[in-house]
Structure 1
Amino acid sequence: MPALPPLPLPPALPGKPPRSRRPGPARAPARPRARARRAGRALALAGLCTALTTALTACGAGLEEQAPGGKGGLVVGSAGFTESQIVAELYAGVLSKAGFRASVKKVKNRELYEPELEKGRIDVVPEYAATLAEFLNAKAHGPDADPVASPNADRTLQALRRLAEPRGLKVLEAGRAVDQNAFAVSRDYAAKHHLKTLTDLGKSKQRITVAAGDECETRPFCRPGLEKTYGIDVRGIDPKGVGTAQSKQAVKDGKDQLVLTTTTDATLDQFGLVLLEDDKRLQNADNIVPVVNAKDAGDAKVARALDRLTRVLTTEDLTELNRKVDRDRLKPHDVAEQYLSRKGLV
């Protein structure tokens, strides 16, 4: 179809200069340019916001401290039983409150985590003064070394520090919380053989299997101590763990006769078990004490954070915390968090 001729412009009004009427297509180029300018401003603003966000994030990250050794966060070691897991979570909580990045690493037993502590792969562990002292004593002087631990907490800590320092370990202050190894039997077994003490068990001449960790075979306060100090006829070790539900159930069911647990075990009644008195004091006073890798966690700020907890924690607290995990089935992390909040430590 041929194009139509253009319409004529209207005449100008009198007294006013004629206005130029631009054809519609002439305005089109202005719109993309405007949109481009607006898009450019939006991109610039977004870039500025991103830069500011990154800077603020970096500033926030700087508020969380690295470990004193400069390697990053602090790793708190935990052995494979309830109480150790709870106290490790307590340590991580107070360290986090002090500004450190703290995490918990569960390791089966002392034979595995202590070398990791020396190497700096673990930075902090909750320990038991007398037990660790004898462990390091045997490492340094052999399994037949004269004992260095005793029921006296101060002397035991002094001995522990002498053994720990050459290994690059620092022993912090111990508190009032004490937990010792303990041995329990079922109520029925105790009644049948007239047992109240470990001496009674030795005199009964019963052959027994001990439900415990596999390290009980060589620990001086476990199988060797039961045999040497009390004359107990230990037939073998059933490696179900220290004070675990499986260990206690095995004794309740009669599969095993003796279970290695602790004096703060809060669930013995549930399994119908009773503690036998350590009447010859095979077990020494085991105050709970933080032990750290001196290079990576040996500065004063770490010690101050852990000391705040050490001064508050009691043996009764430990028993109650164990009960919440073992009986009430709460998680160690949650139990620790509630305790720290209740005591005003976080």
Structure 2
Amino acid sequence: MNVRRSLAAALAAGALLFVTACSGDLESSDDGDAQAKGQGPVTISGQNFPEATLVASMYEQLLADAGYEPTVKLVGGRDVYGPDFPGKIDIVPEYVGGIANYLNIQANGPDAEPFTSGDGEEIASQAEPLFDELGITLLELSEATDTNAFFVTKEFAEENDVSTLSDLEGMSMVLAAAPDCKGRLDCEGGLSEAYGIDITKVLPLGYASDQTYQSVIDGEAQLGETSTTDGTLEAQGLVVLEDDQQIQPAQNLVPAVGEAFLTEHPDVADLLNALMAALTTEKLTELNGRVSNDREKPEDVARDFLVEEGLL
């Protein structure tokens, strides 16, 4: 019996030494990989339109590469994911003017004075108390910007001699747009109040969606909502009208992160800030074109960009 106990003890000690040695080899040979594992789950949400899908995929791939287990849940608008952020949702690819004005209305009502500065940093600073109160941290703003834009068919523009939104003053129009467009000062509200356009109906067909494009092309709607980085319009016979009264606030891309999550995972800031620094408006427009015009998969386009920039 004593011999067996001694043999078992020797085997156990040997196994322990083997495991310890292997562990030491792993840490010394590949510190980065060892540290990158086990970061835990992270939930990403945001609006469901092509550019947002593309940028969300960039977030997802960067975080997965760093050892996180990302889940992406894109939805129709801020009013859908807003109640769960922060909390059930950890990170949202955002636009500075959009999230600032959304939170402003949520806190102060629909008649709240909007943030309209053309400077994204200024908007972020003005809205900081709203972010602090909810436990949301904005990381670094990208120079890449993408504001709302409104389009008509080229045929309509030529027949009515219009090139700016002011040229539509007094006209009655159906608007195809995002589900939360009604009443927003950067959408239906601003078109009605600032430009004097009689918006008779808002069709909630989506932001820069195929359904919105087709509705305007078919004449169901006369005006559609898209973005300034939309590279698909010309090929479809559509044209953006100039926002000559500048009702659109600055919309720099920016990661919005739950403060508690960021405190536990401070490395996320470095990952996403590097992405924001690499993106430009021109590059974003080019990438959008690959998804919308060339029909490439957003995850493939996202990965190509991340590899090209040395982020993956």
TM-score range, shorter chain: 0.7 to 0.9
1:292 counterpart = 2:265: no
Secondary structure of 1:279's counterpart equals coil
1:127 counterpart = 2:88: no
2:193 is matched with 228
- 1:228 and 1:182 map into 2 onto residues whose CA distance is 16
1:65 counterpart = 2:33: no
2:11 is matched with none
1:275 counterpart = 2:224: no
Deviations 1:293-338 (A, max 9, x none): 1112344311011011011101111111111111111221111111
1:79 counterpart = 2:31: no
Deviation at 1:78, TM superposition (A): 2.9
Deviation at 1:99, TM superposition (A): 2.7
1:327 is matched with 293
> Which of 51, 54, 67 is the aligned partner of 1:99?
67
CA 1:260–1:147: 2 relative to 1, 3 Å: same
Secondary structure of 1:163's counterpart equals helix
2:123 is matched with 156
Structure 1 segment 116-265 matched on structure 2, within 5 A: 116-118=84-86, 120-202=87-169, 205-265=170-230
Which is higher, the Rg of structure 1 or of structure 2?
1
1:17 is matched with none
Amino acid corresponding to residue 37 of structure 2 in structure 1 = E
**TM-score normalised to the size of structure 2?**
0.86
1:113 is matched with 81
CA 1:153–1:62: 2 relative to 1, 3 Å: closer
Deviation at 1:253, TM superposition (A): 1.7
Deviation at 1:153, TM superposition (A): 1.8
Deviation at 1:159, TM superposition (A): 1.8
Gaps of 5+ in 1: 1-47, 67-71
Gaps of 5+ in 2: 1-14, 28-32
- 1:273 and 1:210 map into 2 onto residues whose CA distance is 14
**TM-score normalised to the size of structure 1?**
0.78
Aligned residues between the structures: 286
- 2:38 and 2:167 map into 1 onto residues whose CA distance is 55
Query: Would you say the 8 A contact 1:198–1:277 is kept in 2?
Result: yes
Amino acid corresponding to residue 64 of structure 1 in structure 2 = K
- 1:230 and 1:198 map into 2 onto residues whose CA distance is 7
Deviations 1:223-243 (A, max 9, x none): 111000000010101111011
Deviations 1:15-57 (A, max 9, x none): xxxxxxxxxxxxxxxxxxxxxxxxxxxxxxxxx9xxx8xx99x
Secondary structure of 2:60's counterpart equals helix
Runs of 4 or more consecutive aligned structure 1 residues displaced over 4 Å after TM superposition = 59-63
Query: Would you say the 8 A contact 2:121–2:141 is kept in 1?
Result: no
